[in-house]
Amino acid sequence: MKKIVFCALLLASIFAMSCGNDSGQITRSKTQLDSLLDDVLEGHNIGMAKLGKLTRAEQTTKRLLDSIAKLPEKTRQAAEPLKVKLDSLKSDLSYAEFAMNKWMDEFNVDSAIDNAKERIKYLEDEKLKVTKVKEAILSSLQKADSLLKVKI
């Protein structure tokens, strides 16, 4: 339910930001709260845009690990260094997905809406959290790109 409300508010925010005067400019100036909320939503949007690729990388990694497990003992031992790297990648990808889902579940777009000082603090904290989540997603995908060397 929170995800539906969050997505609806995100869409409303995007719509509101796109509405402007005839020259296409937004008529009101941005406040610190507006900027912080924009930064938080931008971090969310960047991370969400990569979740499909992250899922494909997880599937490819799992498939490769399953294939290694089916190899004859001697070949499996020879593939152990690759298996270790794939296990690490699988862990990174799983964590990135978990972190995004956890952040989305816990994020409250209406937190302290009636108290500017508390809201600024909340959004600053959320900006840090979503930046870490975004970085976890992007770094795990970078690792997947270099290790898997296939288009995912």
Average pLDDT over residues 16-26: 49
- Measured between alpha carbons, how far is 141 from 53 in angstroms, rounded to an integer? 8
What's the whole-number average pLDDT of the chain? Answer: 85
- Residue 27 reports pLDDT greater than 60: no
- Measured between alpha carbons, how far is 45 from 104 in angstroms, rounded to an integer? 11
- Measured between alpha carbons, how far is 20 from 114 in angstroms, rounded to an integer? 25
86 located within any domain: yes
Q: Which pLDDT does position 30 carry in this prediction?
A: 74
Please, are residues 33 and 120 in contact by the beta-carbon 8 Å criterion?
Answer: yes
2 located within any domain: no
Report the 10 Å Cβ neighbour count for 133.
Answer: 24
Residue 138 DSSP code: H
134 located within any domain: yes
CA distances from 45 to 57, 80, 87 (A): 19, 37, 28
- Residue 21 reports pLDDT greater than 50: no
Residue-range definition of the domain harbouring residue 109:
30-148
Give, in degrees to the nearest 5, the angle at Cα 116 between 113 and 120.
95
45 located within any domain: yes
- Residue 152 reports pLDDT greater than 50: yes
95 located within any domain: yes
126 located within any domain: yes
pLDDT in tens, 31-45: 888 899 999 999 999
The closest alpha carbon to 31, from 116, 131, 127, belongs to: 116
78 located within any domain: yes
The domain tally of the chain equals 1
- Residue 24 reports pLDDT greater than 70: no
3 located within any domain: no
